Amino acid sequence: MTVAVTPAPVDLTRAALSVRRRIVNRIATLAIALALLVALVPLALVTYTVVSKGLDVMSWRFLTDNIVNSPRRAGGGMWPAILGTLLITGTAALMAIPLGVFGAIYLNEYGKQKPLARVIRTMADVMTGVPSIVMGLFIYVTVVLAFNQSGLAGALALACLMLPVVIRSSEEMFRLVPDELRQASLALGARRWRTTVTVVLPAAISGITSGAMLAIARAAGETAPVVLVTAIVFRPEWNLLEPNTTLPQQIFNNASQPFAVANQRAWGAALTLIAIVLLATLIARFIASRYSIKER
Amino acid sequence: MTDTRISLTTKGGGVRADRLFRFSALAAGLLVLAILALILVTTSREAWPVFADEGLSFLTSKTWDPASNEFGALAFVYGTVIVSLISLLIAVPVSLGIALFLTELAPRRLRAPAVTVIDLLAAIPSVVFGLWGILVVAPALYKLYQALHDTLGGVPVIGSLFGTPVGGGRSFMTAGIILAIMIIPIITSISREVFATVPSSDKQAAYALGATRWEMIKGAVFPHSFGGLVGAVMLGLGRAMGETIAVALTIGAATQITPNLFAGGNAMPSVIVLEFSESTGEWTAALIGLGVFLFVITVLVNVLARLVVNRAEIRMKGAVA
Amino acid sequence: MSDFVRDLEGSVMATHDRPNVHIAAGRDASPVVPGTPVMELQDVSVFYGTYEAVRGTTLPVRQHQITAMIGPSGCGKSTILRALNRMNDLIPGARVAGRITYHGQDIYARDVDPIQVRRHIGMVFQKPNPFPKSIYDNVAYGIRINKIKGNLDDMVEEALTGAALWDEVKDKLKTSGMALSGGQQQRLCIARTIAVQPDIILMDEPCSALDPIATGKIEDLMHELSRQYTIVIVTHNMQQAARVSHFTAFFTAEVDSAGVRHGRLVEFNDTGKLFTNPDDRRTEDYITGRFG
């Protein structure tokens, strides 16, 4: 006959955990939370500074006047740079996005895991890491030396920077389209190209668009290639074959000047640029969230 | 046998359209390889005269004197290395912390806003960071540098790091700090992916043994993610080496090699953008040559990084399956 | 596999020559008058690379009748089905040996265009897969790409009626096809398939992702459809095959001397006969639940 033995009471409270372990855990948790703050603080500071200093100089005239031809002088506006940014970035987008989507179609619909496709995929990733100054040098050596500095050269450089980004993000979107949709289309007697264009592409279009907008936002902020291949102008220039100027270039030029008026212009241009980039980013997120591919 | 003679063999436009479509898609994909090859070929050709003239001393000599056609880029290599190191030292712990926060700590409601913060940080153009750096951060840090110089400047050995700060604060240190802020997003995002592939069963096992959260992270998350994290850091390094504008504005544009972190210097991409417009002839070729070198090493670092990340992720997903 | 055991009503097995499967009431056990074959399979095998996934399949597909393919998982039923409309072509390394003829023509002949084959032999899949388009555009898709002449609205309505879906969706043709219930989505996929006026409809376990009520509706639909089309259905549900089909093919998997599994056709017969008095002992074992 066994006698039931009641075990000694076990301490299940928090106090049972050794002090040292508790402290270490607490410190680690704090450090991790601190990390987020370290990222948050510069973001807040930059935004605050750009907005407050930019607003100081912002006005309708600032957005529509021509650029002063000497950094020492006060006044003037950024219209030529705004125009240049829109024209050059827009042209780059027109070149890079269709090519990028087509490249993504090859990678996901045809190439898949074949060796050539794997190489292209890896190289596209590598290409996203090529410094923008190198793209600028590339376009300088090929286009500018043959012709002249121009807005088009700037657009080409930006397109080279955008292409791999569009390819990879579009490929991800194509991958999300369920294979059953392709099978259904093929079973109805559609050819591969028609299946891709009428079923796969529409299904992925929202993700592709939002990815493209993010690539555009990044391209709009590029400075180094523009400095090298687009020269500078003070009046609005609509002809892409002529030199032009963009907001990032203006910021760069004005930032390194010792004159306070130049610095103020830089803040104004920065605010304008951030507004454009923010708009593109918000549109991208809106499209992505509203029209995302429904998971089946 | 039925009387309808159904044709199964219509050929025609359809097949040709399919082939054309596939070929166009392939051509677009090959464009990536073509551009990369073209970059290397065209820039090397343009820079060849300088390579031929200087030979290896292009990279080993620190005399950069355009007036007498002497182009030794060692000072810029040094600058790139120092600034990248500083930025990694700051950015890696912060990025890992953020990635851990997002995968392990954050309550559901905080996750999306935290990701937004990182996305916004990545969206800010580098020229804006440079502007902020040169006009706001550098002057503010100058006072800090002076204080550090006064207190630590005399200490043997490490005191040389804290030399006399250059006026205005534009220095290796400032550039490194600004750069750190800019590479945080990429290191964070890759680290997040890596942490997310740690099998939840391992984490549960650690908790089931009575581990605290930090002990679980040390025991289950880190060992699994080590390879991927190395890749993430390498990608951050690649980005840091190539960042041009923010560094150009904050590094001080001086050609010198010195251990003094508060002194001004120059890095490879920044010297190109700063000197390009006034350069001519062999000077331009030298800058292009610098660009070739920069291209080659960033491609190498990126290729290695991608291979490391891919292999680490394959190994982890294989372990789960 | 356990589905078969579950599906057998009553768990007590009768004597081994009286399998415990109920053939649908209303269908007598007398043999079906066989229709003319529209497709003939002669000793068909399907290879994936060097691996022979299924072998030795010889059977006819008879016009305006329903042929079911049953058997345990992994014995090649779906593989054979996909060979009939050359969907296997999409799998790299897939190869068909033997002869598959459609109205006397070998569909794997060199000059045959798979697109044309699929135009006449349609397919409904296991998981309903409507396009992320409107109901109308889903049904109209096949009509448009094959450039079938006629009034589009009428053809869409006819297809939806033929799939027993018209009444439920006629007021919301422009809404998304993916907003329908599972059973409705599958009927939409059927409507999409019959809109191109195929000769034969292949169905790959069309009800396995649906609830019993939706399943019942589709089984009723199959009877209707067989008047106009020829149907081949793969199903792992023996009861369904018994209820619905005129002819049944039973597949099984055998392991060869090297330990590799191959699928193989065991028996093809009139459904009534196969379920009450099968020719092959293996069929009988399967139907009585002794294995599988």
Does a structural domain hold residue A28? no
- Record the tokens describing residue C214, joined without a space: 């939706």
Tell me the mean pLDDT in the region C243-259.
90
- C248: β partners: C68, C269
Tell me the mean pLDDT in the region C178-191.
92
> B244, A132 in Cβ contact below 8 A?
yes
**Domain ranges, residue A162:** 62-177+204-290
Instruction: Write down which chains contact chain A via at least 3 CB pairs under 8 A.
Output: B, C
C107, C131, C204: best mutation site toward chain A, by most A Cβ within 10 Å? C131
> A188, C124 in Cβ contact below 8 A?
no
Concatenate the DSSP letters of all residues of C224-268 into one string.
HHHHHSEEEEE-S-HHHHHHH-SEEEEEEEEE-TTS-EEEEEEEE
3-state DSSP call for residue C69? strand
The full set of domains in chain C, from first to last, is: 2-10+35-287 (3.40.50.300)
Closest Cβ opposite residue A189 in set C125, C145, C189:
C145
Nearest CA to CA, how far is A283 from chain C (Å)?
23
Report the candidate in B176, B190, B171, B189 with the shortest Cα–Cα distance to residue B121: B189
Query: Is a pLDDT exceeding 90 seen at residue C56?
Result: no
CA distance A166 to B273: 26
Query: Is a pLDDT exceeding 60 seen at residue C26?
Result: no
At A292 the pLDDT is: 60
Q: For the segment C141-158, what is each residue's pLDDT rounded down to a tens digit?
A: 989 888 888 999 999 999
Instruction: Write down which chains contact chain B via at least 3 CB pairs under 8 A.
Output: A, C
- Amino acid found at B29: G
Query: Is a pLDDT exceeding 60 seen at residue C233?
Result: yes
B184 touches chain A (CB under 8 A): yes
Q: For the segment B220-254, what is each residue's pLDDT rounded down to a tens digit?
A: 888 888 888 999 999 999 999 999 999 999 998 88
Instruction: Write down which chains contact chain C via at least 3 CB pairs under 8 A.
Output: A, B
Least confidently predicted of B103-107, C67-71, C266-270: B103-107
Q: For the segment B168-184, what is each residue's pLDDT rounded down to a tens digit?
A: 889 999 999 999 999 99
Does a structural domain hold residue A260? yes
Does a structural domain hold residue A5? no
CA distance A124 to A106: 13
At C20 the pLDDT is: 44
Concatenate the DSSP letters of all residues of B167-213 into one string.
TTS-SHHHHHHHHHHHHHHHHHHHHHHHHHTS-HHHHHHHHHTT--H
Tell me the mean pLDDT in the region B181-192.
93
Q: For the segment B277-308, what is each residue's pLDDT rounded down to a tens digit?
A: 888 888 899 999 999 999 999 999 999 998 88
At B320 the pLDDT is: 43
Domain boundaries, chain B: 52-320
CA distance B112 to A284: 16
Q: State chain A's maximal CA–CA distance in angstroms.
A: 106
pLDDT in tens, chain A (296 residues): 555 566 666 666 666 667 888 888 889 989 988 998 888 999 999 999 999 999 988 888 888 888 888 888 887 888 999 999 999 999 999 999 999 999 999 999 998 889 999 999 999 999 999 999 999 999 999 988 888 888 899 999 999 999 999 999 999 999 999 999 999 999 998 999 999 999 999 999 988 998 899 899 989 999 999 999 988 888 888 998 999 999 999 999 999 888 888 899 999 999 999 999 989 988 888 887 776 654 33
Going across the sheet that includes C37-48, the strands are: C105-106, C94-102, C37-48, C51-62, C261-270, C247-255, C66-70, C230-234, C200-204, C121-124
According to DSSP, the β-strands at B64-65 and C66-70 are unpaired
CATH number of B52-320: 1.10.3720.10
Report the candidate in B294, B243, B287 with the shortest Cα–Cα distance to residue B87: B243
The backbone torsions φ and ψ at residue C206, rounded to the nearest 5 degrees and listed phi first, read -65, -20
Q: In sequence order, what E strands does chain B have? A: 64-65, 70-71
CA distance C29 to C20: 15
Residue B90's contacts (CB-CB under 8 Å, 6 or more residues apart) are B176, B177, B180
Residue of chain A with shortest Cα separation from B287: A137
Nearest CA to CA, how far is C258 from chain B (Å)?
27
- Record the tokens describing residue C77, joined without a space: 């039923």
Does a structural domain hold residue A24? no
Q: What is the C-alpha radius of gyration for chain B, rounded to an integer number of angstroms?
A: 26
Closest Cβ opposite residue B29 in set A21, A107, A138:
A107
The length of chain B in residues reads 321
**Residues B157, B159, B160, B165, Cα dihedral to 10°:** 170
CA distance C236 to C243: 13
Report the candidate in A207, A200, A206, A201 with the shortest Cα–Cα distance to residue A181: A200
Closest Cβ opposite residue A122 in set B45, B97, B306:
B306
For residue C107, the chain B residues in CB contact (below 8 A) are: 8
CA distance A176 to A182: 12
Tell me the mean pLDDT in the region B99-126.
87
Does a structural domain hold residue A190? no
Nearest CA to CA, how far is B10 from chain C (Å)?
7
Query: Is a pLDDT exceeding 80 seen at residue C261?
Result: yes
**Top-ranked range on mean pLDDT: pick from A90-104, A246-260, B9-23, B152-166:** A90-104
Does a structural domain hold residue A184? no
Does a structural domain hold residue A278? yes
**Residues A111, A116, A118, A119, Cα dihedral to 10°:** -150
Within a 10 A sphere around the Cβ of A180, how many other Cβ atoms?
16
Residue B129's contacts (CB-CB under 8 Å, 6 or more residues apart) are A46, B178, B181, B182, B246
Tell me the mean pLDDT in the region B104-120.
85
Nearest CA to CA, how far is B143 from chain A (Å)?
19
- Amino acid found at B89: L
B120 touches chain A (CB under 8 A): yes
Asked whether the beta carbons of residue B10 and residue C116 sit closer than 8 angstroms, the reply is yes
Concatenate the DSSP letters of all residues of chain A into one string.
-PPP-PPPPP--SGGGS-HHHHHHHHHHHHHHHHHHHHHHHHHHHHHHHHHHHHHHH--HHHHHSPPPSSTTS-----HHHHHHHHHHHHHHHHHHHHHHHHHHHIIIIIITTSHHHHHHHHHHHHHHTS-HHHHHHHHIIIIITTS---HHHHHHHHHHHHHHHHHHHHHHHHHHS-HHHHHHHHHTT--HHHHIIIIIHHHHHHHHHHHHHHHHHHHHT--HHHHHHS---SS----TTS----HHHHHHHHHT-S-HHHHHHHHHHHHHHHHHHHHHHHHHHHHHHHSPPPP-
Asked whether the beta carbons of residue B25 and residue A251 sit closer than 8 angstroms, the reply is no
Question: What is the domain-level CATH number for residue A165?
Answer: 1.10.3720.10
- Record the tokens describing residue A295, joined without a space: 């998971």
Closest Cβ opposite residue C115 in set B1, B5, B14:
B14
Tell me the mean pLDDT in the region C192-201.
93
At A293 the pLDDT is: 53
Does a structural domain hold residue A97? yes
Give B218: exposed, middle or buried? Use CB within 10 Å, 0-12, 13-18, 19+.
Answer: middle
Nearest CA to CA, how far is C227 from chain B (Å)?
17
At C5 the pLDDT is: 45
3-state DSSP call for residue C50? coil
Query: Is a pLDDT exceeding 80 seen at residue B30?
Result: yes
According to DSSP, the β-strands at B64-65 and B70-71 are antiparallel
Ramachandran quadrant class, A231 (left: phi over 0; alpha: psi -120 to 50; beta: rest): left
Asked whether the beta carbons of residue C113 and residue B8 sit closer than 8 angstroms, the reply is yes
ipTM of the complex: 0.88
The count of domains in chain A is 1
Note if the pTM is more than 0.90: no
- Amino acid found at A220: A
